[in-house]
Every structure is written in C-alpha cells, then in structure tokens.
Amino acid sequence: MNKRSIELKVVRPRRLYEQIADHVRELVLNGTFPPGSALPPERELAEIIGVSRPSIREALIALEVMGLVESRQGGGNYVRTDAGILRMIPLAGGRDLGPGPIEQFEARRVIELACVKLAAQRATEEDVRNLEDCLDRMRDLIERNASPADEHRYFHTMLASISQNQIFASTVAELWRVRSGELWDTLRQKVDNAESWRLGIEFRAHLINAIRDRDSAAAVAVMSNHFNRIGELYFGLLPEPDEANREV
C-alpha cells in the first residue's frame, strides 16, 4: 500500500477588516460600485454592511493597500478606474497584512499606559536624560521638515524598557515592529504633518515632566490623552475617560 503524503495547511481565523474588505470587493465585481465610482461615506457604508465605522476605515485602508480603492485629496474613497483589470484576490487568499491597525492600537493603549505608570515610579536620572535627548532629536528633525518616525518609535520602546518589565518591553517592541507595515504606512500618509508632529512634541515634553516628578497619575493622564487624540485622528474613535480618574 502506497502511503501518500498529506499536505496540511493551517487556516487562520479571518479578521473582521478582511471580511469587510472582501464584501466591498464583491460589490465592485457585481457592479454595485463600478470602476471609477465613489464609495458611500464611511458612516453610510458602515450602516449598509452593519459594522462599526472604525472597522470600515480599516477595511478601506486594506483595499487601498491592495490596489482596489484610492483615497483622493479633498475627501472620499473611489474604486480605481483600472479595477476591472486588477487581479483582485480576496484578502483571505492573498498576502497577510497582519492584525488590523485598530486591534494593534487597542493593545498599545492598554500596555503603554501600564508601562508609563511603572516608568514614572522607576525611572532613573539617566533614563530621563535619555528621553530628553530623544525629544531634542525629534525637535531637530521637525525643524528640518524631516519625519521623526524613527525617534517616535525609539521614545515609546524606551519608555517600555524604563518600566523594568521585560514582558511589557518585548510586547511593545513587537507592536511597534508590526506598526511599520503597509496598513500603518497608508494611515500615516493621511495624517502625518507638521501640526501632528508639533502636538507629538508637546505630549512628550509633558510626559517627561511627569516622569521626572515621579507623578505616575499625571504620566498616565498625559499618555491617555495622547491615545485619545491619536484614536480620534486615525480612526474616528471616541475619546475614552482619563485613565487617572478611573476607579480601580
């Protein structure tokens, strides 16, 4: 009896944004949204499909990365005019773009708030100087109209290291690694500008002051406000209550 080798393929659960993106793709293929046409606004599209508006935003970003949808200056998402000749493979059968940006953002919010609380309690004078040096480098880059993205990442991973919790530090490093993927690149192109960089500098300056003062409640409040601003800017998420004022 001949034994045949059986190839096993691991099938991962489909992420929500992938399911939504494939649904929109089908609407393009069946002519509901023909090439060159405008897609409904995010809020309306969310109602049509029956999902949240942030989930729609994630799906549209994925479709933009895959080359089916384009976001035009001045607002609005459009089916690309060459969509009919594109090899539009469902996301489940194509490349894996990784966890959705909102899922990553939610994880970062929880973990980095915990990190900054510990950092305010455990930071040394050298740690504070290193954070200040990083902030100075960011200011210098912005003055030269250069992106401070690398220093941005370094600042957050350094905060996690200052917490002196190796699990937090390694998790934050991994979250920032996946943040360099195509979905986030597309997002950043929509919101990165001199004003957002300026607000980022202000946030970090306030945070460093709270850490220097060993005021963990203030540090958590500053970080929470930062995540509220980023969540609303990137995803239209409603601000969450100040973490420092929540009951434990």
Domain end point (choices 46, 68, 93): 93
Query: Reduced to 3 states, what is the DSSP secondary structure of residue 71?
Result: strand
Highest averaged pLDDT of the listed ranges 43-57, 100-114, 205-219: 205-219
pLDDT by residue (tens digit) across 170-203? Answer: 999 999 998 887 788 888 877 888 889 999 999 9
* pLDDT of 175: 93
Q: Which of 134, 125, 205, 120 is nearest to 163 (CA)?
A: 120
Residue 169 lies in a domain: yes
Q: Concatenate the DSSP letters of all residues of 76-136 into one string.
A: -EEE-TTGGGS----GGGS----S-HHHHHHHHHHHHHHHHHHHHHH--HHHHHHHHHHHH
| Residues 217 and 132 reside in one and the same domain | yes
Question: Does pLDDT of 4 surpass 90?
Answer: no
Query: Whole-prediction pTM value?
Result: 0.76
The reply to whether 171 falls in a domain is yes
Q: Which residue has the higher pLDDT, 45 or 92?
A: 45
CATH of the domain at 152: 1.20.120.530
Beta strands in the chain (DSSP E): 69-71, 77-79
Contact 165, 157 (CB under 8 A): no
What is the reported pLDDT for 122? 98
CA gyration radius, the chain: 21
Give me the domain span that covers residue 121: 101-245
CA angle 223, 170, 224 (to 5 degrees): 10
Task: Judge whether residue 207 has pLDDT over 90.
Answer: yes
* Alpha carbon distance 129, 212 (integer Å): 9
CA dist., res. 175 & res. 127, Å (int): 22
- 143 and 209 assigned to the same domain: yes
One domain for residues 84 and 119:
no
Same domain, 178 and 241: yes
Choosing from 72, 93, 114, the residue where a domain stops is 93
| pLDDT confidence tier of residue 162, bands split at 50, 70 and 90 | very high
Domain assignment present for 7: no
Q: Are residues 115 and 89 in the same domain?
A: no
129 and 170 housed in the same domain: yes
Task: Give CA separation, 230 vs 39, 51, 106, 241, in Å.
Answer: 25, 21, 11, 14
**Percentage, residues of the chain above pLDDT 70:** 85
Q: Please choose, from the candidates 94, 95, 97, the residue with its C-alpha nearest in 3D space to the C-alpha of residue 60.
A: 97
| pLDDT for res 248 | 29
Q: What is the pLDDT of residue 165?
A: 97
Residue 246's pLDDT is what?
46
Helices 101-122/216-235 angle, 10° precision: 160
* Total number of domains in the chain: 2
What's the CA dihedral at 231, 233, 239, 240 to 10 degrees? 10
**Mean pLDDT over the full length of the chain:** 85
Chain segment 50-70, per-residue pLDDT in tens: 998 888 988 988 888 888 888
Give the model's pLDDT for residue 27. Answer: 87
